[in-house]
Protein backbone atom coordinates (compact mmCIF):
# COMPACT_ATOMS: atom_id res chain seq x y z
CA UNK A 1 0.00 0.00 0.00
CA UNK A 2 2.80 2.35 0.95
CA UNK A 3 4.64 1.68 -2.22
CA UNK A 4 1.46 2.49 -4.19
CA UNK A 5 1.25 5.91 -2.63
CA UNK A 6 4.88 6.47 -3.37
CA UNK A 7 4.32 5.61 -7.01
CA UNK A 8 1.32 7.85 -7.15
CA UNK A 9 3.31 10.75 -5.91
CA UNK A 10 6.10 10.06 -8.31
CA UNK A 11 3.76 9.69 -11.23
CA UNK A 12 1.89 12.83 -10.31
CA UNK A 13 4.96 15.00 -9.91
CA UNK A 14 7.96 14.06 -11.91
CA UNK A 15 7.14 11.40 -14.46
CA UNK A 16 7.53 12.90 -17.89
CA UNK A 17 5.69 10.07 -19.60
CA UNK A 18 2.69 10.66 -17.39
CA UNK A 19 2.64 14.36 -18.22
CA UNK A 20 3.10 13.56 -21.85
CA UNK A 21 0.27 11.03 -21.80
CA UNK A 22 -2.13 13.28 -19.97
CA UNK A 23 -2.02 15.67 -22.89
CA UNK A 24 -2.40 12.98 -25.51
CA UNK A 25 -5.09 10.85 -24.00
CA UNK A 26 -7.30 13.40 -22.34
CA UNK A 27 -10.43 11.59 -23.41
CA UNK A 28 -9.06 8.12 -22.87
CA UNK A 29 -9.26 6.33 -19.60
CA UNK A 30 -5.86 5.87 -17.97
CA UNK A 31 -4.76 3.90 -14.96
CA UNK A 32 -1.39 3.23 -13.49
CA UNK A 33 -0.27 0.03 -11.74
CA UNK A 34 2.75 -0.88 -9.71
CA UNK A 35 4.88 -3.84 -10.71
CA UNK A 36 2.60 -6.27 -8.86
CA UNK A 37 -0.46 -5.06 -10.71
CA UNK A 38 -1.92 -2.99 -7.87
CA UNK A 39 -3.82 0.06 -9.05
CA UNK A 40 -2.06 3.23 -8.09
CA UNK A 41 -3.98 5.96 -9.87
CA UNK A 42 -6.76 6.34 -12.40
CA UNK A 43 -8.62 9.19 -14.07
CA UNK A 44 -12.30 10.06 -14.18
CA UNK A 45 -12.71 8.57 -17.67
CA UNK A 46 -11.73 5.17 -16.28
CA UNK A 47 -14.15 5.69 -13.39
CA UNK A 48 -16.89 6.31 -15.95
CA UNK A 49 -16.03 3.09 -17.79
CA UNK A 50 -15.73 0.79 -14.80
CA UNK A 51 -18.38 2.36 -12.58
CA UNK A 52 -16.15 2.41 -9.43
CA UNK A 53 -14.67 5.56 -7.91
CA UNK A 54 -10.89 5.94 -7.69
CA UNK A 55 -10.80 5.44 -3.90
CA UNK A 56 -12.53 2.06 -4.22
CA UNK A 57 -9.91 0.75 -6.64
CA UNK A 58 -6.61 2.34 -5.66
CA UNK A 59 -4.44 -0.03 -3.69
CA UNK A 60 -6.36 -3.08 -4.98
CA UNK A 61 -5.11 -5.55 -7.53
CA UNK A 62 -6.17 -4.96 -11.14
CA UNK A 63 -6.96 -8.68 -11.47
CA UNK A 64 -10.00 -8.21 -9.24
CA UNK A 65 -11.90 -6.35 -11.95
CA UNK A 66 -10.82 -8.52 -14.88
CA UNK A 67 -13.33 -10.98 -16.29
CA UNK A 68 -11.90 -14.47 -15.43
CA UNK A 69 -11.70 -15.56 -19.08
CA UNK A 70 -9.49 -12.57 -19.87
CA UNK A 71 -7.29 -12.87 -16.78
CA UNK A 72 -4.52 -14.89 -18.37
CA UNK A 73 -4.31 -12.49 -21.30
CA UNK A 74 -4.30 -9.41 -19.07
CA UNK A 75 -1.58 -10.82 -16.78
CA UNK A 76 0.63 -11.93 -19.64
CA UNK A 77 0.32 -8.54 -21.38
CA UNK A 78 1.02 -6.84 -18.07
CA UNK A 79 4.16 -8.93 -17.62
CA UNK A 80 5.35 -8.07 -21.13
CA UNK A 81 4.84 -4.36 -20.43
CA UNK A 82 6.73 -4.77 -17.18
CA UNK A 83 9.59 -6.10 -19.30
CA UNK A 84 9.50 -2.84 -21.21
CA UNK A 85 7.37 -3.93 -24.20
CA UNK A 86 4.45 -1.94 -25.54
CA UNK A 87 1.23 -4.00 -25.59
CA UNK A 88 -2.12 -3.52 -27.29
CA UNK A 89 -4.92 -6.01 -26.74
CA UNK A 90 -8.66 -6.48 -26.29
CA UNK A 91 -10.15 -8.06 -23.18
CA UNK A 92 -13.15 -8.04 -20.90
CA UNK A 93 -13.48 -6.37 -17.49
CA UNK A 94 -16.31 -6.51 -14.99
CA UNK A 95 -18.33 -3.33 -14.51
CA UNK A 96 -19.52 -2.31 -11.04
CA UNK A 97 -23.00 -3.45 -12.11
CA UNK A 98 -21.65 -6.96 -12.77
CA UNK A 99 -21.96 -6.73 -16.56
CA UNK A 100 -19.05 -7.50 -18.85
CA UNK A 101 -17.43 -4.68 -20.74
CA UNK A 102 -15.17 -4.98 -23.76
CA UNK A 103 -12.01 -2.92 -23.46
CA UNK A 104 -9.03 -2.20 -25.65
CA UNK A 105 -5.95 -1.69 -23.51
CA UNK A 106 -2.55 -0.29 -24.37
CA UNK A 107 0.03 -1.25 -21.74
CA UNK A 108 3.15 0.88 -21.43
CA UNK A 109 5.94 0.61 -18.92
CA UNK A 110 6.33 3.52 -16.48
CA UNK A 111 9.99 4.44 -16.53
CA UNK A 112 11.54 6.50 -13.78
CA UNK A 113 15.22 7.41 -13.89
CA UNK A 114 15.79 4.66 -16.42
CA UNK A 115 14.04 2.09 -14.26
CA UNK A 116 10.64 0.49 -14.90
CA UNK A 117 8.53 1.14 -11.85
CA UNK A 118 5.07 0.25 -13.06
CA UNK A 119 2.70 -0.11 -15.99
CA UNK A 120 0.22 2.28 -17.57
CA UNK A 121 -3.04 1.11 -19.00
CA UNK A 122 -4.67 3.35 -21.60
CA UNK A 123 -8.16 2.01 -21.85
CA UNK A 124 -10.86 2.35 -24.51
CA UNK A 125 -14.40 1.07 -24.02
CA UNK A 126 -15.11 -0.91 -27.20
CA UNK A 127 -18.28 -2.62 -25.97
CA UNK A 128 -20.44 -0.74 -28.46
CA UNK A 129 -18.01 -1.21 -31.34
CA UNK A 130 -17.83 -4.93 -30.54
CA UNK A 131 -21.60 -5.19 -30.43
CA UNK A 132 -21.89 -3.36 -33.73
CA UNK A 133 -19.21 -5.56 -35.27
CA UNK A 134 -21.07 -8.60 -33.99
CA UNK A 135 -24.33 -7.27 -35.42
CA UNK A 136 -22.69 -6.64 -38.78
CA UNK A 137 -21.22 -10.15 -38.70
CA UNK A 138 -24.60 -11.65 -37.81
CA UNK A 139 -26.28 -9.61 -40.52
CA UNK A 140 -23.70 -10.81 -43.01
CA UNK A 141 -24.30 -14.43 -42.04
CA UNK A 142 -28.05 -13.92 -42.30
CA UNK A 143 -27.69 -12.14 -45.63
CA UNK A 144 -25.59 -14.97 -47.04
CA UNK A 145 -27.97 -17.53 -45.67
CA UNK A 146 -30.88 -15.75 -47.32
CA UNK A 147 -29.27 -15.03 -50.67
CA UNK A 148 -27.48 -18.38 -50.97
CA UNK A 149 -30.52 -20.46 -50.11
CA UNK A 150 -33.25 -18.29 -51.54
CA UNK A 151 -35.55 -19.82 -54.12
CA UNK A 152 -35.35 -16.50 -55.93
CA UNK A 153 -32.39 -15.33 -57.91
CA UNK A 154 -30.90 -12.25 -56.31
CA UNK A 155 -28.69 -9.96 -58.33
CA UNK A 156 -26.74 -6.78 -57.83
CA UNK A 157 -25.77 -4.72 -60.83
CA UNK A 158 -24.55 -1.25 -61.64
CA UNK A 159 -26.95 1.21 -63.21
CA UNK A 160 -26.12 -0.07 -66.72
CA UNK A 161 -27.17 -3.58 -65.74
CA UNK A 162 -23.66 -5.07 -65.45
CA UNK A 163 -23.93 -7.89 -62.92
CA UNK A 164 -21.74 -7.65 -59.81
CA UNK A 165 -23.37 -10.31 -57.69
CA UNK A 166 -25.63 -13.23 -58.59
CA UNK A 167 -26.98 -15.65 -56.01
CA UNK A 168 -26.42 -19.38 -56.52
CA UNK A 169 -30.09 -19.99 -57.42
CA UNK A 170 -29.24 -18.69 -60.91
CA UNK A 171 -27.99 -22.20 -61.66
CA UNK A 172 -31.44 -23.70 -60.99
CA UNK A 173 -33.23 -20.90 -62.80
CA UNK A 174 -31.02 -20.22 -65.82
CA UNK A 175 -28.45 -23.01 -65.85
CA UNK A 176 -25.51 -20.64 -65.29
CA UNK A 177 -23.18 -20.55 -62.28
CA UNK A 178 -22.83 -17.12 -60.63
CA UNK A 179 -19.26 -16.94 -61.91
CA UNK A 180 -20.44 -17.27 -65.51
CA UNK A 181 -22.80 -14.32 -65.11
CA UNK A 182 -20.77 -11.81 -63.11
CA UNK A 183 -19.53 -9.06 -65.40
CA UNK A 184 -22.24 -9.80 -68.00
CA UNK A 185 -25.16 -7.47 -68.70
CA UNK A 186 -28.57 -8.37 -67.26
CA UNK A 187 -30.15 -7.26 -70.52
CA UNK A 188 -28.20 -9.89 -72.53
CA UNK A 189 -30.21 -12.53 -70.67
CA UNK A 190 -33.58 -10.94 -71.38
CA UNK A 191 -35.91 -11.69 -74.30
CA UNK A 192 -35.47 -9.12 -77.07
CA UNK A 193 -39.10 -7.99 -76.87
CA UNK A 194 -38.91 -7.40 -73.10
CA UNK A 195 -35.63 -5.44 -72.88
CA UNK A 196 -37.35 -2.10 -73.43
CA UNK A 197 -39.87 -2.81 -70.66
CA UNK A 198 -37.14 -3.77 -68.19
CA UNK A 199 -34.98 -0.78 -69.11
CA UNK A 200 -37.79 1.68 -68.52
CA UNK A 201 -38.67 0.03 -65.21
CA UNK A 202 -35.03 0.34 -64.08
CA UNK A 203 -34.91 3.96 -65.19
CA UNK A 204 -37.98 4.67 -63.10
CA UNK A 205 -36.49 2.89 -60.07
CA UNK A 206 -33.32 4.98 -60.32
CA UNK A 207 -35.17 8.24 -60.96
CA UNK A 208 -37.77 7.91 -58.20
CA UNK A 209 -35.82 5.75 -55.73
CA UNK A 210 -38.88 3.56 -55.75
CA UNK A 211 -39.45 -0.18 -56.06
CA UNK A 212 -40.06 -1.57 -59.51
CA UNK A 213 -42.00 -4.73 -60.26
CA UNK A 214 -41.91 -6.04 -63.78
CA UNK A 215 -42.37 -9.39 -65.51
CA UNK A 216 -40.29 -10.45 -68.49
CA UNK A 217 -38.69 -13.48 -70.11
CA UNK A 218 -35.12 -14.64 -69.41
CA UNK A 219 -33.17 -17.05 -71.54
CA UNK A 220 -32.01 -20.32 -70.01
CA UNK A 221 -28.48 -21.43 -70.90
CA UNK A 222 -29.97 -24.14 -73.10
CA UNK A 223 -31.93 -21.63 -75.16
CA UNK A 224 -35.53 -21.63 -73.94
CA UNK A 225 -37.25 -18.71 -72.22
CA UNK A 226 -38.64 -18.55 -68.69
CA UNK A 227 -41.17 -16.04 -67.43
CA UNK A 228 -39.86 -14.23 -64.35
CA UNK A 229 -40.97 -11.37 -62.18
CA UNK A 230 -38.40 -9.04 -60.71
CA UNK A 231 -38.66 -6.74 -57.76
CA UNK A 232 -36.00 -4.10 -58.06
CA UNK A 233 -34.66 -1.45 -55.71
CA UNK A 234 -31.84 1.04 -56.14
CA UNK A 235 -29.22 1.83 -53.54
CA UNK A 236 -26.68 4.60 -53.63
CA UNK A 237 -23.16 3.76 -52.44
CA UNK A 238 -22.40 6.25 -49.69
CA UNK A 239 -18.70 6.71 -50.39
CA UNK A 240 -18.88 7.36 -54.14
CA UNK A 241 -22.55 8.05 -54.92
CA UNK A 242 -22.65 5.20 -57.46
CA UNK A 243 -26.02 3.56 -58.04
CA UNK A 244 -26.58 -0.16 -57.58
CA UNK A 245 -29.67 -2.11 -58.57
CA UNK A 246 -30.71 -5.00 -56.36
CA UNK A 247 -33.21 -7.36 -57.96
CA UNK A 248 -35.08 -10.34 -56.60
CA UNK A 249 -36.04 -12.43 -59.60
CA UNK A 250 -38.72 -15.10 -59.29
CA UNK A 251 -39.74 -17.85 -61.67
CA UNK A 252 -43.40 -17.24 -62.54
CA UNK A 253 -43.75 -19.69 -65.40
CA UNK A 254 -46.18 -21.81 -63.36
CA UNK A 255 -48.25 -18.71 -62.58
CA UNK A 256 -48.23 -17.76 -66.25
CA UNK A 257 -49.43 -21.25 -67.14
CA UNK A 258 -52.25 -20.99 -64.60
CA UNK A 259 -53.18 -17.56 -65.93
CA UNK A 260 -53.31 -19.01 -69.42
CA UNK A 261 -55.43 -21.92 -68.25
CA UNK A 262 -57.84 -19.55 -66.51
CA UNK A 263 -57.98 -17.37 -69.60
CA UNK A 264 -58.84 -20.36 -71.72
CA UNK A 265 -61.40 -21.75 -69.33
CA UNK A 266 -63.14 -18.37 -69.22
CA UNK A 267 -63.02 -18.32 -73.02
CA UNK A 268 -64.52 -21.77 -73.25
CA UNK A 269 -67.14 -20.97 -70.67
CA UNK A 270 -68.13 -17.79 -72.52
CA UNK A 271 -68.23 -19.72 -75.79
CA UNK A 272 -70.32 -22.44 -74.17
CA UNK A 273 -72.78 -19.97 -72.72
CA UNK A 274 -73.07 -18.10 -76.00
CA UNK A 275 -73.52 -21.33 -77.94
CA UNK A 276 -77.20 -21.64 -76.99
CA UNK A 277 -77.98 -18.27 -78.51
CA UNK A 278 -75.84 -19.02 -81.50
CA UNK A 279 -77.49 -22.36 -82.19
CA UNK A 280 -80.76 -20.47 -82.22
CA UNK A 281 -79.33 -17.83 -84.53
CA UNK A 282 -77.93 -20.41 -86.92
CA UNK A 283 -81.20 -22.31 -87.04
CA UNK A 284 -83.09 -19.31 -88.41
CA UNK A 285 -81.06 -18.87 -91.59
CA UNK A 286 -80.96 -22.64 -92.01
CA UNK A 287 -84.75 -22.75 -91.93
CA UNK A 288 -84.84 -19.96 -94.49
CA UNK A 289 -82.35 -21.77 -96.73
CA UNK A 290 -84.31 -24.98 -96.50
CA UNK A 291 -87.52 -23.16 -97.43
CA UNK A 292 -85.97 -21.43 -100.42
CA UNK A 293 -84.42 -24.66 -101.66
CA UNK A 294 -87.86 -26.26 -101.58
CA UNK A 295 -89.32 -23.29 -103.46
CA UNK A 296 -86.54 -23.42 -106.02
CA UNK A 297 -87.12 -27.06 -106.72
CA UNK A 298 -88.13 -27.01 -110.39
CA UNK A 299 -88.76 -23.27 -110.39
CA UNK A 300 -86.05 -21.72 -112.55
CA UNK A 301 -87.66 -18.27 -112.52
CA UNK A 302 -86.73 -17.43 -108.95
CA UNK A 303 -83.32 -19.08 -108.93
CA UNK A 304 -81.21 -15.86 -109.04
CA UNK A 305 -82.94 -13.92 -106.31
CA UNK A 306 -83.25 -17.00 -104.07
CA UNK A 307 -79.58 -17.72 -104.58
CA UNK A 308 -78.53 -14.31 -103.32
CA UNK A 309 -80.73 -14.68 -100.22
CA UNK A 310 -79.32 -18.15 -99.55
CA UNK A 311 -75.83 -16.79 -100.05
CA UNK A 312 -76.22 -13.98 -97.56
CA UNK A 313 -77.79 -16.32 -94.97
CA UNK A 314 -74.90 -18.75 -95.35
CA UNK A 315 -72.43 -15.89 -94.96
CA UNK A 316 -74.11 -14.94 -91.74
CA UNK A 317 -73.89 -18.50 -90.41
CA UNK A 318 -70.22 -18.54 -91.36
CA UNK A 319 -69.55 -15.26 -89.61
CA UNK A 320 -71.21 -16.32 -86.39
CA UNK A 321 -69.57 -19.72 -86.31
CA UNK A 322 -66.12 -18.32 -87.02
CA UNK A 323 -66.53 -15.78 -84.21
CA UNK A 324 -67.50 -18.58 -81.87
CA UNK A 325 -64.51 -20.67 -82.91
CA UNK A 326 -62.18 -17.74 -82.50
CA UNK A 327 -63.46 -17.09 -79.03
CA UNK A 328 -62.90 -20.64 -77.85
CA UNK A 329 -59.47 -21.09 -79.43
CA UNK A 330 -56.38 -20.33 -77.32
CA UNK A 331 -54.37 -17.60 -79.02
CA UNK A 332 -50.90 -16.18 -78.61
CA UNK A 333 -50.66 -12.52 -77.75
CA UNK A 334 -50.38 -10.65 -81.04
CA UNK A 335 -50.38 -6.88 -81.21
CA UNK A 336 -51.32 -5.35 -84.53
CA UNK A 337 -53.39 -2.55 -85.98
CA UNK A 338 -57.09 -3.24 -85.98
CA UNK A 339 -60.32 -1.35 -86.51
CA UNK A 340 -62.13 -1.05 -83.20
CA UNK A 341 -65.44 -0.12 -84.83
CA UNK A 342 -65.38 -3.31 -86.92
CA UNK A 343 -64.35 -5.37 -83.91
CA UNK A 344 -67.21 -4.03 -81.81
CA UNK A 345 -69.66 -4.67 -84.65
CA UNK A 346 -68.47 -8.29 -84.83
CA UNK A 347 -68.86 -8.66 -81.08
CA UNK A 348 -72.36 -7.25 -81.33
CA UNK A 349 -73.22 -9.82 -84.00
CA UNK A 350 -72.01 -12.57 -81.76
CA UNK A 351 -73.72 -11.42 -78.61
CA UNK A 352 -76.95 -9.94 -79.98
CA UNK A 353 -78.62 -13.34 -79.99
CA UNK A 354 -77.79 -13.80 -76.33
CA UNK A 355 -79.15 -10.31 -75.60
CA UNK A 356 -82.36 -10.74 -77.57
CA UNK A 357 -83.18 -13.87 -75.58
CA UNK A 358 -83.18 -11.65 -72.45
CA UNK A 359 -85.12 -8.87 -74.16
CA UNK A 360 -82.11 -6.61 -74.28
CA UNK A 361 -81.04 -4.27 -77.01
CA UNK A 362 -77.40 -3.34 -77.46
CA UNK A 363 -76.91 0.16 -78.77
CA UNK A 364 -73.52 0.71 -80.37
CA UNK A 365 -72.59 4.40 -80.64
CA UNK A 366 -69.23 4.98 -82.24
CA UNK A 367 -68.73 8.68 -81.50
CA UNK A 368 -65.24 9.32 -82.83
CA UNK A 369 -63.43 9.26 -86.15
CA UNK A 370 -60.48 7.38 -84.65
CA UNK A 371 -60.97 3.71 -85.36
CA UNK A 372 -57.48 2.26 -85.61
CA UNK A 373 -55.93 0.85 -82.50
CA UNK A 374 -52.86 -1.31 -81.97
CA UNK A 375 -54.01 -4.24 -79.90
CA UNK A 376 -54.47 -7.98 -79.67
CA UNK A 377 -57.90 -8.07 -81.26
CA UNK A 378 -58.89 -11.47 -79.89
CA UNK A 379 -58.05 -10.45 -76.37
CA UNK A 380 -59.96 -7.17 -76.61
CA UNK A 381 -62.91 -9.12 -77.99
CA UNK A 382 -62.79 -11.32 -74.93
CA UNK A 383 -62.86 -8.26 -72.66
CA UNK A 384 -65.85 -6.66 -74.34
CA UNK A 385 -67.75 -9.94 -74.63
CA UNK A 386 -67.22 -10.46 -70.92
CA UNK A 387 -68.40 -6.97 -69.99
CA UNK A 388 -71.41 -7.22 -72.30
CA UNK A 389 -72.29 -10.67 -70.95
CA UNK A 390 -72.04 -9.33 -67.40
CA UNK A 391 -74.31 -6.44 -68.37
CA UNK A 392 -76.85 -8.80 -69.95
CA UNK A 393 -76.75 -11.10 -66.94
CA UNK A 394 -77.38 -8.12 -64.63
CA UNK A 395 -80.60 -7.24 -66.48
CA UNK A 396 -82.99 -10.19 -66.11
CA UNK A 397 -85.95 -7.94 -66.88
CA UNK A 398 -84.45 -6.71 -70.14
CA UNK A 399 -83.65 -3.15 -71.19
CA UNK A 400 -80.93 -1.37 -73.08
CA UNK A 401 -77.15 -1.54 -72.99
CA UNK A 402 -75.21 1.38 -74.46
CA UNK A 403 -71.84 0.65 -75.95
CA UNK A 404 -70.27 4.06 -76.52
CA UNK A 405 -66.86 4.84 -77.95
CA UNK A 406 -65.28 8.26 -77.67
CA UNK A 407 -61.78 9.60 -78.13
CA UNK A 408 -59.86 11.34 -75.42
CA UNK A 409 -57.21 13.39 -77.12
CA UNK A 410 -55.52 12.01 -80.19
CA UNK A 411 -54.22 8.73 -78.93
CA UNK A 412 -56.72 7.44 -76.40
CA UNK A 413 -60.03 5.71 -76.90
CA UNK A 414 -62.64 5.23 -74.22
CA UNK A 415 -65.22 2.44 -74.45
CA UNK A 416 -68.21 2.67 -72.15
CA UNK A 417 -70.57 -0.19 -71.38
CA UNK A 418 -73.63 1.20 -69.61
CA UNK A 419 -76.27 -1.22 -68.37
CA UNK A 420 -79.58 -0.81 -66.57
CA UNK A 421 -78.97 -3.76 -64.27
CA UNK A 422 -79.24 -4.01 -60.54
CA UNK A 423 -75.73 -2.71 -59.91
CA UNK A 424 -72.78 -4.04 -57.94
CA UNK A 425 -72.98 -3.63 -54.15
CA UNK A 426 -70.11 -1.72 -52.56
CA UNK A 427 -68.77 -4.76 -50.72
CA UNK A 428 -68.54 -6.65 -54.02
CA UNK A 429 -66.80 -3.83 -55.88
CA UNK A 430 -63.50 -4.36 -54.10
CA UNK A 431 -63.64 -8.09 -54.79
CA UNK A 432 -63.97 -7.65 -58.55
CA UNK A 433 -60.83 -9.00 -60.15
CA UNK A 434 -60.25 -11.63 -57.49
CA UNK A 435 -60.27 -14.99 -59.21
CA UNK A 436 -63.44 -17.03 -58.77
CA UNK A 437 -65.45 -14.21 -57.23
CA UNK A 438 -68.93 -14.70 -58.67
CA UNK A 439 -72.50 -14.20 -57.51
CA UNK A 440 -73.86 -16.35 -60.31
CA UNK A 441 -74.82 -19.99 -60.11
CA UNK A 442 -73.04 -20.81 -63.36
CA UNK A 443 -70.46 -18.01 -63.22
CA UNK A 444 -66.72 -18.65 -63.43
CA UNK A 445 -65.74 -15.52 -61.53
CA UNK A 446 -62.82 -15.15 -63.92
CA UNK A 447 -64.16 -12.58 -66.36
CA UNK A 448 -63.07 -9.51 -64.45
CA UNK A 449 -59.69 -10.85 -63.49
CA UNK A 450 -58.87 -11.76 -67.07
CA UNK A 451 -60.25 -8.51 -68.48
CA UNK A 452 -58.13 -6.51 -66.05
CA UNK A 453 -55.03 -8.50 -67.00
CA UNK A 454 -55.69 -8.01 -70.71
CA UNK A 455 -56.28 -4.26 -70.36
CA UNK A 456 -53.16 -4.00 -68.20
CA UNK A 457 -51.19 -5.73 -70.99
CA UNK A 458 -52.55 -3.05 -73.32
CA UNK A 459 -51.45 -0.31 -70.90
CA UNK A 460 -55.06 0.77 -70.47
CA UNK A 461 -57.29 1.04 -67.44
CA UNK A 462 -60.74 -0.02 -66.29
CA UNK A 463 -63.06 2.15 -64.21
CA UNK A 464 -66.29 0.98 -62.66
CA UNK A 465 -69.20 3.09 -61.46
CA UNK A 466 -72.28 1.37 -60.14
CA UNK A 467 -75.50 2.06 -58.28
CA UNK A 468 -78.88 0.38 -58.00
CA UNK A 469 -79.88 1.80 -61.43
CA UNK A 470 -77.06 0.22 -63.31
CA UNK A 471 -73.36 -0.15 -63.88
CA UNK A 472 -70.97 1.72 -66.14
CA UNK A 473 -67.69 0.11 -67.10
CA UNK A 474 -65.16 2.38 -68.77
CA UNK A 475 -62.20 0.96 -70.60
CA UNK A 476 -59.55 3.48 -71.58
CA UNK A 477 -57.01 2.32 -74.16
CA UNK A 478 -54.04 3.96 -75.82
CA UNK A 479 -54.31 3.66 -79.61
CA UNK A 480 -50.58 2.84 -79.88
CA UNK A 481 -48.59 0.49 -77.68
P1 LIG B 1 -68.86 -14.09 -63.61
O2 LIG B 1 -69.54 -13.26 -64.67
O3 LIG B 1 -68.48 -15.43 -64.08
O4 LIG B 1 -69.62 -14.12 -62.32
P5 LIG B 1 -67.01 -11.88 -63.56
O6 LIG B 1 -65.62 -11.78 -63.08
O7 LIG B 1 -67.27 -11.50 -64.96
O8 LIG B 1 -67.47 -13.37 -63.28
O9 LIG B 1 -67.93 -11.01 -62.59
C10 LIG B 1 -67.84 -11.18 -61.21
C11 LIG B 1 -69.08 -10.70 -60.48
O12 LIG B 1 -69.18 -9.28 -60.60
C13 LIG B 1 -70.36 -11.20 -61.04
O14 LIG B 1 -70.71 -12.47 -60.51
C15 LIG B 1 -71.37 -10.13 -60.60
O16 LIG B 1 -71.78 -10.32 -59.26
C17 LIG B 1 -70.54 -8.88 -60.62
N18 LIG B 1 -70.77 -8.07 -61.84
C19 LIG B 1 -69.94 -7.94 -62.86
N20 LIG B 1 -70.42 -7.08 -63.80
C21 LIG B 1 -71.62 -6.68 -63.34
C22 LIG B 1 -72.65 -5.79 -63.84
N23 LIG B 1 -72.53 -5.16 -65.02
N24 LIG B 1 -73.74 -5.58 -63.06
C25 LIG B 1 -73.86 -6.22 -61.88
N26 LIG B 1 -72.94 -7.07 -61.36
C27 LIG B 1 -71.84 -7.30 -62.07
MG1 LIG C 1 -68.58 -12.54 -66.45
Q: Write down the pLDDT at residue 453.
A: 84
53-62, 227-236, 362-371, 441-450: the lowest-pLDDT one: 441-450
299 CA from centroid of ligand 2 (Å): 50
Query: 124 has which bridge partners?
Result: 104
Ligand 1 atom closest to Cα of residue 433: 6
Please identify, by atom number, the ligand 1 atom nearest to the C-alpha of residue 445.
8
For residue 333, pLDDT beyond 90: no
pLDDT exceeds cutoff 80 at 14: no
* CA gap 78, 312 in Å, rounded: 111
Least confident of 5-9, 16-20, 54-58, 282-286: 5-9
For residue 74, name the pLDDT band (cuts at 50, 70, 90).
very high
pLDDT tens, position by position, 249-288: 999 988 888 877 777 777 777 777 777 667 766 777 777 7
pLDDT value for 475: 97
Mean pLDDT of 368-388: 92
Query: How far is it, in rounded angstroms, from Cα 314 to Cα 295?
Result: 17
The pLDDT-based confidence of 335 (bands split at 50, 70, 90) is confident
Q: Closest-lying ligand to the alpha carbon of 450?
A: 1
pLDDT of residue 324: 67
Mean pLDDT value across the chain: 87
Asked whether the beta carbons of 18 and 115 are under 8 A apart, the reply is no
At residue 113 the predicted structure's pLDDT band, cuts being 50, 70 and 90, is confident
Helix-strand-coil split of the chain, %, nearest 5: 45, 30, 25
Rounded average pLDDT over 425-436:
86
In this predicted structure, what is the pLDDT of residue 1? 39
Residue 375 to residues 183, 200, 268, 348, 443, Cα–Cα distance (Å): 38, 21, 21, 19, 27
Task: Name the residue of 355, 400, 438, 444 whose CB sits within 8 Å of the most ligand 1 atoms, as the mutation to test its pocket.
Answer: 438
**What pLDDT does 13 receive?**
43
438 in contact with ligand 1, CB cutoff 6 A: yes
Local structure of 27: helix, strand or coil: coil
439 Cβ closer than 6 Å to some ligand 1 atom: yes
Rounded Cα distance between 220 and 226, Å, is 7
Q: Are strands 412-418 and 470-478 parallel, antiparallel or unpaired?
A: antiparallel
> Number of helices (H) and strands (E), helices first, in the chain?
15, 17
Report whether residue 437 contacts ligand 1, using a CB cutoff of 6 Å. yes
Residue 38, pLDDT above cutoff 90:
yes
Distance of CA 216 from the midpoint of ligand 2 (Å): 28
Kindly state if the Cβ of 448 falls inside 6 Å of ligand 1.
Answer: yes
Q: Where are the alpha helices (DSSP H) in 169-252?
A: 170-174, 178-181, 195-208
- Return the biggest CA–CA distance within the chain: 147
Q: Of the bound ligands, which one is closest to the alpha carbon of residue 385?
A: 2
Closest ligand 1 atom, CA of 470? 24
Residue 418: which pLDDT band, with cuts at 50, 70 and 90? very high
Model confidence at 167, pLDDT cuts 50, 70, 90, reads: very high
Question: 435: Cβ below 6 Å to ligand 1?
Answer: no
- Does residue 245 contact residue 156 with C-beta atoms inside 8 Å? yes
| Ligand that comes closest to the CA of residue 444 | 1
Euclidean distance between CA atoms 363 and 378, whole angstroms = 21
For residue 162, what pLDDT is reported? 96
pLDDT band at 5, cuts 50/70/90? Answer: very low
- pLDDT beyond 50 at 343: yes
- Give, in order, the Cα–Cα distances in Å from 214 to each of 15, 131, 334: 72, 39, 20
Least confident piece of the model among 48-62, 131-145, 258-272, 403-417 = 258-272
- pLDDT over threshold 60, residue 9: no
Q: Is the CB of 447 under 6 A from ligand 1?
A: yes
Q: What angle do CA 189, 191, 192 make, to 5 degrees?
A: 110
pLDDT at 464: 96
Q: Rounded distance, CA 424 to CA 448, Å?
A: 13
Residue closest to 282 by CA, chosen among 250, 321, 244, 255 = 321
* Element holding 240 (H helix, E strand): none
Report the residue among 265, 385, 390 best suited for mutation to probe ligand 1: largest number of ligand atoms under 8 A from its CB.
Answer: 390
Q: What is the mean pLDDT of residues 80-107?
A: 94
Q: Is 171 in the pocket of ligand 1 (CB under 6 A)?
A: no
Give the pLDDT of residue 340: 96
| 408 alpha carbon – ligand 2 mean position (Å) | 27
Pairing mode, if any, of strands 372-375 and 360-366? unpaired
> Which one-letter DSSP state was computed for residue 392?
H
- The DSSP symbol for 37 reads S
Cβ of 475 closer than 6 Å to ligand 1, yes or no, is: no
What's the pLDDT tens digit per position in 193-203?
899 999 999 99
Task: Please tell me the distance from the alpha carbon of residue 229 to that of residue 413, in angstroms, as a whole number.
Answer: 30
Which of 149-158, 184-193, 205-214, 290-299 is predicted with the least confidence, judged by mean pLDDT? 290-299
The confidence score (pLDDT) of residue 446 equals: 81
Tell me the C-alpha distance between 355 and 385, whole Å.
11
Is the shortest distance between the CB of 390 and ligand 1 below 6 Å?
yes
Q: What is the mean pLDDT of residues 312-330?
A: 70
Determine which residue's CA is closest to atom 19 belonging to ligand 1: 390
Amino acid sequence: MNSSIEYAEKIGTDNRIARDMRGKFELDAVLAMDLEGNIVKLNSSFEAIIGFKEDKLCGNSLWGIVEPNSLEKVVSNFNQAREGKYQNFDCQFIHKSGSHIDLNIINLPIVLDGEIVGVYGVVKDITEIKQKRQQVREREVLYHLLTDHSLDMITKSNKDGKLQYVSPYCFDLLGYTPKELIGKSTYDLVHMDDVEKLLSSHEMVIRNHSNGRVSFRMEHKTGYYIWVESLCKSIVKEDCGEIRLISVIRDISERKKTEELLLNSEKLSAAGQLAAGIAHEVRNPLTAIKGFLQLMDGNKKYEDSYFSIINSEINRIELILSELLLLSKPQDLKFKECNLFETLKQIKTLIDTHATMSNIEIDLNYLTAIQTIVCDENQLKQVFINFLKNAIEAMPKGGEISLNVRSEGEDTLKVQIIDQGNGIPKEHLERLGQPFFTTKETGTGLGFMISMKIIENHHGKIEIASNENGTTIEVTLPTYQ
